[in-house]
Amino acid sequence: MPNSQLSPEQLPQHIAIIMDGNGRWAKARGKPRVFGHKNGVSAVRKTISSSAKLGIKAVTLFAFSSENWRRPEDEVGILMELFISVLSTEVKKLHKNNLRLRIIGDTSRFSRRLQEKIAHAEEMTASNTGMVINIAANYGGKWDITQAAKRVAEDVKRGQIAPEDIEESTIAQYLTMSDLPEVDLLIRTSGECRISNFMLWQMAYAEMYFTPIFWPEFDEASLIEAVTWYVNRERRFGCTGEQIKALMED
Ligand code: IPE
Ligand code: IPE
Ligand code: MG
């Protein structure tokens, strides 16, 4: 039986996704960019439920980069409103499903209202034991390494560690998501093949999967396709999407 060859351990433990192409998806339909962002939310929902069904340990979604502040003010404003409303409507559902939600990034630049929503969502789901969902918001890979370096420097100043004793693991413990395995699989939609300052350190060994479809079109079948690709790259045998699907719990 080919199924017996595939076990859950062969799946990626940590999947990171650059959710790109909302604007182009909307434009192709003659709609404003915000229409794409709104439709991107249902792709987020599908991705979360499919990943949880597969038993993935952690999913990190790039929602807003530290560079995205450069977008027109009204688009940034609409994205912020969208975060607030999605956090309000979705968190209870995530909690009910035992999922843990965390927002990763420099949240200090967000409005007080959004910061409150974030704190509430994180608190509510903090002790859940299921999949971890990290939403990267005002996140940048360079920012992450910089904030870790600052904290190491503070330890040096306090005499807790000597500069010559700084190792990779010293930096790693101060990076965001230090409690999770590093990223196994990066997915980027919309055909762009770049990292756009997403996680840098944590993706040092990630397999990178680029698909031309736009983010609002991403669904369970797309995730299965990406995971199938990953398993076949890592294990070098011909696993099928059907086998991946068979690992999903109903
Ligand atoms: C990704 O879609 C969503 C965010 C960055 C918030 P884009 O808004 O980048 O869509 P394109 O790349 O312009 O099509
Ligand atoms: C990366 O997408 C950031 C997010 C998906 C949130 P962008 O569309 O902002 O990236 P660039 O600017 O095209 O590299
Ligand atoms: Mg884009």
- The pLDDT, as a whole number, for residue 250 is 66
- The pLDDT, as a whole number, for residue 127 is 98
Instruction: Give residue 241's pLDDT band: very low, low, confident or very high (50, 70, 90).
Output: confident
Out of 17, 18, 24, 68, give the residue to mutate to test ligand 1, the one with the largest number of ligand atoms within 8 Å of its CB: 24
- Per-residue model confidence as pLDDT tens digits over 31-84: 999 999 999 999 999 999 999 999 999 999 999 999 999 999 999 999 999 999
Residues contacting residue 161 through CB under 8 Å, at least 6 positions apart? 152, 155, 170
- 249 CB burial (10 A radius; 0-12, 13-18, 19+): exposed
- Integer Cα distance of 129 and 27 in angstroms: 40
- End-to-end Cα separation, the chain, in angstroms: 22
- Cβ atoms 232, 239 nearer than 8 A: yes
Classify domain 3-249 at the CATH topology level.
Undecaprenyl pyrophosphate synthetase (3.40.1180)
- Give me the sheet containing 58-65, strands edge to edge: 100-104, 132-139, 58-65, 14-18, 185-188, 207-210
Angle between helices 33-54 and 220-235 (to 10 degrees): 50
Instruction: Give residue 213's pLDDT band: very low, low, confident or very high (50, 70, 90).
Output: very high
Angle between helices 33-54 and 73-96 (to 10 degrees): 30
- Integer Cα distance of 40 and 46 in angstroms: 10
Task: Give the Å distance between the CA of 187 and the centre of ligand 1.
Answer: 15
- The pLDDT, as a whole number, for residue 8 is 87
- Integer Cα distance of 22 and 218 in angstroms: 11
Out of 61, 190, 195, 214, give the residue to mutate to test ligand 1, the one with the largest number of ligand atoms within 8 Å of its CB: 190
- Per-residue model confidence as pLDDT tens digits over 103-155: 999 999 999 999 999 999 999 999 999 999 999 999 999 999 999 999 999 99
- Per-residue model confidence as pLDDT tens digits over 2-40: 445 688 889 999 999 999 999 999 999 999 999 999 999
Over residues 175-194, the mean pLDDT reads 98
Instruction: Among the bound ligands, name the one nearest to the CA of residue 37.
Output: 1
- The pLDDT, as a whole number, for residue 236 is 65
- Is residue 20 part of the annotated active site? The answer reads yes
- The pLDDT, as a whole number, for residue 3 is 47
Over residues 181-199, the mean pLDDT reads 98
Residue among 3, 39, 68, 128 flagged as catalytic: 68
